[in-house]
Amino acid sequence: MRRLVAWRILAHEKGRSVLAVGGIFVAVLLIFLELGFYFSVPKGGMLIYDKLRFDIMLASSAYFFQGQSFEFPRRRLFQASALPEVTAAVPLYQGSAPWFNKASTLRRDVFVIGFNLRDRVFDAADIDRHIDALKRPDTVLVDEPTRPMFGAIAPGGHVEIGEAVVRIPGPVPRCVVTTQHPETGIRDLDTLRIVKAYRGVRDGRKVDFGVYADVEEPGRVRVGDSVLPV
């Protein structure tokens, strides 16, 4: 009897019932969305700070977020260094800057971090391994996941990989063979579409992935070695 009454209440005005169920669904969806922000925002916001060597951080009173951290007088660092409890006080610069990729005409705002290379600011092996490379003028270190967004190395240029120097004749266009299983020959993965999604298309039809390289000065190359223009 109770089920019958409940069903009649729901079926009496179907529009209101659907609206009520839709409202409950949206409320539940918002709850899960808030939970996602609750767990992801603090973790994402601390990614950089978790890799820094510090006990106390000084920030501008106008600090808004990492991309707009603003500035404070350098004398504050000297004042902090003068305290007997402080071992060292070093500056860290962070902000945003525009980046334009001529090849893909892609414009992006990039987050930039600057620091004195003599100071061990970061507790990250990947950065420590490239400190010597960063000492060269006009050199920046880009994180690996976003490297393709900044464009390919220009053909004809020379780069240093570890102890070797190579010349880049040009990019390597991929073909449909890469979409096929090496043993069966059956197409099982659309690699061209995946590469095209983040590398773009050259000359309206070529999907590039990698570059050719001619060795001009032989040398030892190890996994993790820097790739630097010469």
Task: Give the model confidence (pLDDT) of 156-184 as tens digits.
Answer: 677 888 888 888 887 777 777 778 888 88
Looking at the structure, do residues 39 and 109 belong to the same domain, yes or no? Answer: no
90 within a domain of the structure (yes/no): yes
C-alpha to C-alpha distance for 79 and 72, rounded to whole angstroms: 13
50 within a domain of the structure (yes/no): no
What type of residue is 144?
E
The predicted structure's pLDDT at residue 84:
92
Looking at the structure, do residues 23 and 93 belong to the same domain, yes or no? Answer: no
Looking at the structure, do residues 62 and 139 belong to the same domain, yes or no? Answer: yes
Looking at the structure, do residues 137 and 76 belong to the same domain, yes or no? Answer: yes
> Which among 87, 96, 92, 98 has a CA at the least distance from the CA of 60?
92
The predicted structure's pLDDT at residue 124:
86
C-alpha to C-alpha distance for 158 and 216, rounded to whole angstroms: 9
Token duo for residue 186: 């059956």
99 within a domain of the structure (yes/no): yes
Looking at the structure, do residues 129 and 166 belong to the same domain, yes or no? Answer: no
The predicted structure's pLDDT at residue 102:
65
The predicted structure's pLDDT at residue 182:
80
Last residue of a domain, one of 101, 119, 150: 150
The predicted structure's pLDDT at residue 16:
77
For residues 205 and 154, the answer to whether their CB atoms sit within 8 Å is no
Last residue of a domain, one of 125, 150, 175: 150
Task: Give the model confidence (pLDDT) of 9-50 as tens digits.
Answer: 667 777 777 888 888 889 999 998 888 888 777 777 788 888
Looking at the structure, do residues 146 and 66 belong to the same domain, yes or no? Answer: yes
Please state the pTM of the whole predicted model: 0.53
For 223, the 3-state DSSP assignment is coil
180 within a domain of the structure (yes/no): yes
Looking at the structure, do residues 76 and 142 belong to the same domain, yes or no? Answer: yes
C-alpha to C-alpha distance for 92 and 57, rounded to whole angstroms: 10
CA 57, 86, 79, 121 torsion: positive or negative?
negative
Range of the domain at 211: 158-229
Number of domains in the chain: 3
Looking at the structure, do residues 103 and 61 belong to the same domain, yes or no? Answer: yes
Looking at the structure, do residues 67 and 136 belong to the same domain, yes or no? Answer: yes
The predicted structure's pLDDT at residue 85:
92
Looking at the structure, do residues 224 and 162 belong to the same domain, yes or no? Answer: yes
For 226, the 3-state DSSP assignment is coil
Looking at the structure, do residues 101 and 138 belong to the same domain, yes or no? Answer: yes
Looking at the structure, do residues 61 and 133 belong to the same domain, yes or no? Answer: yes
Q: Which residue has the tokens 């729901």?
A: 10
Residues 6+ apart with CB under 8 A from 111: 66, 67, 94, 95, 96
Last residue of a domain, one of 150, 175, 196: 150
